[in-house]
Amino acid sequence: MTEKPVRRFLLIAGWTTASLLLAACGKPDVPANAALTPAGGPAASTAPARVYVVGTDAAYAPFESQNEKAEIVGFDIDVVKAVAHQAGFEVKFVNTPWEGIFNALQQGDRDLVTSAVTITPERRQTMDFSQPYFDAVQLIVVKQTSKVARFNDLKPLKVGVQTGTTGDEAITKLLGKTSPNIKRFELTPLALKELEAGGVDAVVADNGVVSNYVANNPAGQFKTVTDPSFTPEQYGIAIKKGNAELLAKVNQGLAGIQANGTYQALYAKYFGSASSVGIAAAAASAAAPAASK
């Protein structure tokens, strides 16, 4: 990214100054919904909305993936776009490898990370999170012929996970960090392909992604297995630790899209059933049928 040094400087200069500078020395991405900005639009006297760079590992359908036109799409993307619109800022999504995604946030190369990120106590030590916006739980996927009926049955088997995910944490606890039976992949779809090819016996990943994959790959002859021992998880939007201003904006946006029904409409679009209750409750009702709460 050629604008990096500029961005670094802007970060030091502070948010307000940053938008003024952007207005003065460069053309900020003109928002598609500019017409929706208050009367008069982005006039010379009004600083244009700041464009925040959002990192996402776009190989995690239906939360984030790339379509045929290489556009980044998905539930997380729609939610963050709606949050941004609600809170009055602009966003630009950048496909970012999962393994470096939190580092990019820390370095200031990304302002936000939306990537079906589970809020965990360990992650909270190095980053801040928005209010939770989705409930999830781990789900095991195996071939239909498999005898696996619970998590413990994976003990003697080869298991594929995406490196550094909560699925990785779960299997690491069961098999031990250095177990040769854990096959770690850069992307969740690579682990699933390996299951299809017979290179691993099972994959452990977030329920929404696993269910989506199984539904879309009937030829793979997969089935899913739940286990009550999996800890209920919640997704949050990650923000650089200490950036209270952006955190407040994001939370304000999230509350707004929940209050005006946008969140529920997006939920229904991706997961099939609308709900008028709270974000966490709406997510829980369809995303974690067996093992949550």
Of the candidate spans 10-18, 24-32, 114-122, 239-247, the one that interacts with ligand ARG by CB under 6 A turns out to be 114-122
Instruction: Determine which residue in the list 49, 54, 87, 117 makes contact with ligand ARG, applying CB under 6 A.
Output: 117
Instruction: Determine which residue in the list 93, 98, 213, 271 makes contact with ligand ARG, applying CB under 6 A.
Output: 98
Cβ-based nearer residue to ligand ARG, 89 or 230: 230
Instruction: Determine which residue in the list 19, 96, 130, 166 makes contact with ligand ARG, applying CB under 6 A.
Output: 166
Tell me which residue of 99, 101, 108, 42 sits closest to 76, measured CA to CA. 101
Of the candidate spans 57-65, 127-135, 148-156, 265-273, the one that interacts with ligand ARG by CB under 6 A turns out to be 57-65
Work out whether 243 is an interface residue with ligand ARG (CB under 6 A). no
Two tokens at 60? 């995690």
Work out whether 60 is an interface residue with ligand ARG (CB under 6 A). yes
| Edge-to-edge strands, sheet with 112-113 | 90-95, 51-56, 112-113, 238-240, 127-129
Cβ-based nearer residue to ligand ARG, 86 or 166: 166
Tell me which residue of 76, 135, 138, 137 sits closest to 282, measured CA to CA. 135
Work out whether 116 is an interface residue with ligand ARG (CB under 6 A). yes
Of the candidate spans 38-46, 116-124, 125-133, 255-263, the one that interacts with ligand ARG by CB under 6 A turns out to be 116-124
List the Cα angle 271/72/18 in 5-degree steps. 115
Work out whether 287 is an interface residue with ligand ARG (CB under 6 A). no
Number of H helices, E strands in the chain: 11, 15
Measured CA to CA, the distance from residue 161 to residue 149 in angstroms comes to 18
Alpha carbon distances (Å) from 231 to 74, 121, 150, 206, 290: 25, 13, 14, 11, 12
Binding interface with ligand ARG (CB under 6 A) = 57, 60, 64, 98, 115-118, 162, 165-166, 188, 206
